[in-house]
Amino acid sequence: MPQVVRSRIAVLHGAHPATPLPQRFRSLADRAAVEVLHRAARVLVASLPVLTDRLVEALYEQEPGYRAAIDSDRAEVWQEVHHSLRHNVGSLIQPREFRDAAHRTSRWIGEIRAGQGVPLDAVLHAFRMGGAMVWQDLVDETARRDPDDVRLLVHVAADVWNFVDEHCGIVADAYRQAERRLSWRRENQQRLMVAALLDGTARIADVCEAAAMLGLPEQGRYAVLAVASAPGGPQQQGLARPPLNLPAALAGAAQDGSPQTAHDGQTRRDVPPHAAPDGQTRPDVPPHAAPSPEPGGRPHSAPSTAPLWHTGPDAAFAILRLTGGPGDPGDPCELHAIADALDAPAGTRAGIGSAVDGLAALGDARRLAETALRACPASGGTVLLDEHLPDALVVSSPALGSALADRVLGPLDRLDPSDRDVILETLTAWLDADGSAQRAGARLYCHRNTVLNRLRRFEQLTGRCLTRPRDAVEVSLALAARRLLGT
């Protein structure tokens, strides 16, 4: 066959023409070698079922990556191997007729094995094993028919092995393309699942699947961290979240192969994933954990304590896995330690909600984190909701908070702004000092009597009595409303 002796240079450089180009034989020896190759290949075509049985058995014994697939469905693997051998051996005899079909078969195998999670090295090894077995059978058949013809096969040996290498390249390309598609699809599913959990719209029936997909315990303890830039501050485009250094215990180490960088609206672990379409996830795998396979053979994310990030339109959210579980409250100081250890750039606002039990409660945890974020000062900082519950009450109902501020502090607005600000500053310092005029005066660099005089003036203007508990509570909440809501 003239076309079986192809240019070695084109194969080495990866160039494969769309159709085989006719070539003249280089010598009479080449012509004779091709005739010998054709005769032997026709015998192999006639005995393909036996050759397929031998190759499948060899794969089972020598390639661990195929062993599970053969145990699961030996007939399916047999058909795959038989299909590939039929087209590839046929290409040795009739390249024009079989070349495109052989390429399609190799691409199909690469895609199928990528979807089943068979390692690429195992797939390439299987192709090379098949090539070696076919070549050996060609040599054996030629030796059986006429031992003197074996030497002629040397003239086409390089071409046959270039053919094997060509198909290994086709398989590898198809495998990697399928792997990228599967990775994107899996990460997009994870992004949608995380979004549903944080929105509180995930179905109860889906929570178990979400736990396996994200590598998180269904009944664990969680909190949500919300992060945003200061209002009016510079926005950083292209980041899934503002820069933030989490405590080392939460940062984790990424060990899976998920994509790295992401765009708005994406989900990721604290270690940033590589570039991929919208909606990437980065599960981080601890050294002791091994991923469990999905029904299709792809691994689920392995368990991890590293935060799982998701970017919303106004803030980024991190799911924090805490210690403890059902019936175990865990470390009560854990959230305090996380808040103290956060290292955020100037102007970044961070809010940490209260702990909740179970993945199904992440919607509540997100709302608590958003409340804590709204209680953050406009200039930036970190607010732990459990330590700022009065502020949370105010921002949870802005209309009522504004009404309270107007009712309690409204009379001060008739004063000169500088006088009003002095009274409000003194009142705030006195409340922060637990009602101690002495300590408030030290903060304001004035005498305690000056503090008391300003407080009496406030009482006269507003009709409030700061020694009455109810009035003191209303004044404190009104000050918080004015500070947080800008009323």
Residue 333: predicted pLDDT = 82
Instruction: List the one residue out of 98, 100, 120, 99 whose CA is nearest residue 109.
Output: 120
Q: Tell me the backbone φ, ψ of residue 368, rounded to 5 degrees.
A: -65, -40
Rounded to the nearest angstrom, the gap between the alpha carbon of residue 288 and the centroid of all alpha carbons in its chain is 20
Residue 307: predicted pLDDT = 81
Whose tokens are 């950083």? That residue is 236
Whose tokens are 């865990």? That residue is 330
Residues 457 and 168: their CA atoms lie apart, in Å, by 88
Residue 302: predicted pLDDT = 42
| H-helix segments, 222-357 | 248-251, 334-341
Instruction: List the one residue out of 118, 141, 138, 129 whose CA is nearest residue 81.
Output: 129
**CA-CA-CA-CA torsion sign (102, 107, 108, 113):** positive
Residue 209: predicted pLDDT = 84
Task: Tell me 265's DSSP state.
Answer: S
Residues 385 and 354: their CA atoms lie apart, in Å, by 6
Q: What is the pLDDT along the chain (487 residues), one digit of tens a residue?
A: 334 434 433 433 444 444 443 444 455 457 888 888 888 889 998 999 999 999 999 999 999 988 888 988 899 999 999 999 998 888 888 888 888 888 999 999 999 999 888 899 999 999 999 999 999 999 998 888 888 888 888 888 888 888 889 999 999 999 999 989 988 888 888 888 888 888 888 888 888 888 888 888 888 889 999 998 765 555 544 334 555 556 555 554 333 333 333 334 445 444 333 333 333 333 333 333 333 344 444 444 444 457 888 888 888 899 998 886 666 666 768 888 888 888 778 888 899 999 998 888 999 999 999 999 998 888 888 889 988 889 889 888 889 989 999 999 999 989 999 999 999 999 999 999 999 999 999 999 999 999 999 999 999 999 999 999 999 999 999 998 988 887 6
| H-helix segments, 200-284 | 204-214, 248-251
Q: Tell me the backbone φ, ψ of residue 311, rounded to 5 degrees.
A: -100, 125
Residue 249: predicted pLDDT = 52
Residues 51 and 243: their CA atoms lie apart, in Å, by 59
CA–CA distance from 218 to each of 117, 281, 318, 455 (Å)? Answer: 25, 18, 17, 53
Q: Tell me the backbone φ, ψ of residue 286, rounded to 5 degrees.
A: -70, 155
Amino acid at 59: L
